[in-house]
Amino acid sequence: MIDDSSSSPGASDAGHGIAETIDSVSATLPITLKLYATLQDLLPAGTKRNAAPIEVKADTSLNDVIDAYRVPRELAHLVLVNGVFVCDADRDAPGAFKAGDVLAIWPPVAGG
Q: pLDDT tens digits, residue range 29-86?
A: 999 999 999 999 999 988 989 999 999 999 999 999 999 999 999 999 999 999 999 9
Structure letter (DSSP) for residue 20: P
Range with lowest mean pLDDT among 19-23, 66-70, 93-97? 19-23
Question: Is 60 inside a domain boundary?
Answer: yes
Phi, psi (degrees; rounded to nearest 5) at 14: -80, 5
Question: Is 20 inside a domain boundary?
Answer: yes
Is pTM beyond 0.85 here?
no
The pLDDT of residue 110 is 79
Q: Is 50 exceeded by the pLDDT of residue 22?
A: no
- Which CATH number does the domain housing residue 72 bear? 3.10.20.30
Side-by-side strand order, sheet with 102-106: 2-3, 51-57, 28-35, 102-106, 78-81, 84-85
Interatomic CA distance for residues 68 and 74, integer angstroms: 15
- Supply the range of the domain harboring residue 57: 2-106
Average pLDDT of 4-20? 44
How many structural domains are present in the chain?
A: 1
